[in-house]
Chain A
Amino acid sequence: MIEVDISEKSYRRHDHQTKLKVLSNLRFVAQSGEFCCIVGPSGCGKTSLLNMISDLDDDFSGSIRIDKATPAAGSPPGYMFQTPRLMPWLTVRENIDLVCVAENLACRVDELLHETGLQDFADAYPVQLSGGMRRRVALTRAIINEPALLLLDEPFLSLDSPVANHLRRLLIEVWERRASTVLFVTHDLREALYLADRVLFVSSSPGTIVLDHRVEIPRPRIAEGEAVEMLRLELLKNNPQLLSGLVESSDR
């Protein structure tokens, strides 16, 4: 269970005097095993939120508890950053091995590389891969340890839709197998409704949760299917002001 209670998160501006408030009174509780999507316009502090939950950033007022413990305690989360952040001097396999916690996962690496279609590139360096392939490596790295908590920051941005849908299915599979708690940041509403148990809508900066919607579409769902599309239109119709900032970005 993740309990987030942030009263304020701000950054110092470059002039070191004034502060830029990015999050304000952002509160939610995600149950263990829940797939939560966090949807909001760019610059609303979604990445900051993930950084705080993953203990990269503890400079905020409020508290975050993961299974009643601070983010620093407990087992490490899997984190897929907005950019792949692979070590350029390590091969695909070495990049994944780097984060492996147990030696017996070595066979899992091959299996996962196969599932992500990277089996022929295990010994390639990141410079030799396309942008989409690097993202797949980053996803593999995030899920290899089958973490209890999985944080994903717009992971499938700029991937073509067949590849993205394939990876989304893979993610769902891992999530169902491990019963991980997932926090998935995106500004693509269709993607959120396809994946999530629950969608948290964050307002533009300073970000706060403006709508907490439970997605009742039964699984397995169909990507870009009718159910998702209908729910999307319904949400947009019922909450025109709330989601006005999102429409352009999700329709890109």
Chain B
Amino acid sequence: MNKNKGWTVWLRVASAVVFVLIWQTASSFSDSDILPAPLRVLSSLFDHLHQGELVSDLAVTLLRVLVSFTLAMSLGVALGVIMGRYKKWDVALDGVLLLALNLPALVTIILCYLWFGLGEFAAILAVAINKFPIVVVNMREGARAVDVDLLQVSRVFRIDWRRNLLKVYLPQLYPYLLASARSGLALVWKIVLVVELLGRSNGVGFKLGIFFQFFDVTSILAYSFAFIAVVMLIEYLLIAPLDRRLMKWRSST
């Protein structure tokens, strides 16, 4: 198994190297303002880190991501489970859900700013509303797939509700929760940037807007990579270990 793992690591590294090489080659054929070379983006990244506001911008954006992500996840999981479990709720809310799913992100953002003013509340709400229906759909699927046979075991043995929730019910939803969290994180931070671009005066999205006005492609790429790095860090340090822990039973054959 170890040998196997080493092999995949090498493949990952090789694919990253190939990507950088292609980028490097492409940039040498084009105007350096349109497509800057990898090293220039890297040095711009360090400049922004040391002199600019990259860290504070990242912090502000990350905070917005976390708040709206938590909001959308908690409410989405609750409603999704209810809709998956109770037919009446599902029928009653299915139409609204479909509407919410197909509402363009831009429309929600504009409407939130118009209705609630250009404030933090409207920004967070707009992001959460965009993520929320996707979580609901995902969790509804999860709640529908819950194994009745296993719930009957808790019923027969009269397992108390807390144990039942933690050891019988929730473990069946973990795969769906993890999938929601993964796709959610990626989606939420992209929408947060749009929200910041349109109506906030700080954060990564706001800065990208300014760089756009100055045609500063290098800084745009530097900021993007900085944020991608942060999100990947969250994945590797938080979500992946959680995934391994919760799904241990699956891989232990």
Question: Using a CB–CB distance below 8 Å, which chain A residues touch chain B?
Answer: 54-56, 76-79, 81, 83, 85, 87-91, 94, 98-99, 124-128, 141
Pair A87/B157 contact, Cβ less than 8 Å: no
| A/B interface sample: 27 pairs, CB < 8 A | A54-B156, A56-B155, A76-B157, A76-B158, A77-B156, A79-B156, A81-B149, A81-B152, A81-B153, A85-B153, A87-B171, A88-B249, A88-B250, A89-B246, A90-B167, A98-B163, A98-B168, A99-B153, A124-B252, A125-B248, A126-B249, A127-B249, A127-B250, A127-B252, A127-B253, A128-B252, A128-B253
Apart from the given pairs A83-B149, A85-B149, A88-B250, 18 other A-B contacts in the complex at a CB distance below 8 Å: A76-B156, A76-B157, A76-B158, A79-B156, A81-B149, A87-B150, A87-B153, A88-B249, A89-B174, A89-B249, A90-B249, A94-B167, A98-B159, A99-B153, A99-B157, A127-B252, A127-B253, A128-B252
Q: Write the chain B residue with the least CB distance to A50.
A: B156
Once bound together, how far apart are the Cα atoms of A51 and B220, in whole Å? 64
Which A residues are in CB contact (< 8 Å) with B163? 98
Chain B interface (Cβ < 8 Å from any Cβ of A): 149-150, 152-153, 155-159, 163, 167-168, 171, 174, 246, 248-250, 252-253
Residues of A within 8 A of B168 (CB): 87, 98
A18 to B86, CA, bound (A): 25
Residue of B nearest to A124 (CB): B252
Q: How far is the CB of A125 from chain B (nearest CB, A)?
A: 4
CB distance from B175 to the nearest CB of A (A): 10
* Chain A residue nearest in CB terms to B246: A89
Pairwise interchain contact B159-A125, C-beta atoms closer than 8 A: no
Q: Which residues of A contact B152 (CB under 8 A)?
A: 56, 81, 85
A-B pairs, 6 with minimum CB distance: A99-B157, A125-B249, A76-B158, A89-B171, A79-B156, A89-B249
* Distance between Cα atoms of A142 and B91 in the complex (Å): 39
The answer to whether A87 and B167 touch across the interface, beta carbons within 8 angstroms, is: yes
Report Cα–Cα, A79/B153, bound state, in Å: 8
The complex places the Cα of A78 from the Cα of B156 at a distance, in Å, of: 8
A102 to chain B, nearest CB (A): 13
Name the residue of chain B whose CB is nearest to the CB of A138.
Answer: B153
A96 shortest CB reach to chain B, Å: 11
> Which one of B167, B246, B248 contacts A98 once the chains associate, using CB atoms below 8 Å?
B167
Cα-based distance from A94 to B157 in the complex (angstroms): 14
CA distance A147 to B163 in the complex (A): 20
Partner of A99, one of B159, B171, B248, B249: B159
Q: Which residues of A contact B174 (CB under 8 A)?
A: 89
Counting chain B CB atoms within 10 Å of each CB, the highest count among A54, A89, A126, A127 belongs to: A89
Residues of A contacting B156 with CB < 8 Å? 54-56, 76-77, 79
Closest A residue to B158 using CB positions: A76
- Taking a contact as CB atoms closer than 8 A, the residue among A79, A88, A90, A124 that contacts B157 in the complex is A79
A2 to B64, CA, bound (A): 61
Residues of A within 8 A of B249 (CB): 88-91, 125-127
Whole-angstrom CA separation of A85 from B153 in the bound complex:
7
Most chain A Cβ neighbours within 10 Å, of B152, B174, B249: B249
* A126 CA / B158 CA spacing, docked (Å): 22
Contacts of A94 in B (CB 8 A): 167
Shortest B102–chain A CB gap in Å is 33
Residues of B within 8 A of A91 (CB): 249
CA distance A94 to B155 in the complex (A): 17
* Residues of chain A with a CB closer than 8 A to B153's CB: 79, 81, 85, 87, 99
Whole-angstrom distance between the Cβ of A186 and the nearest chain B Cβ: 19
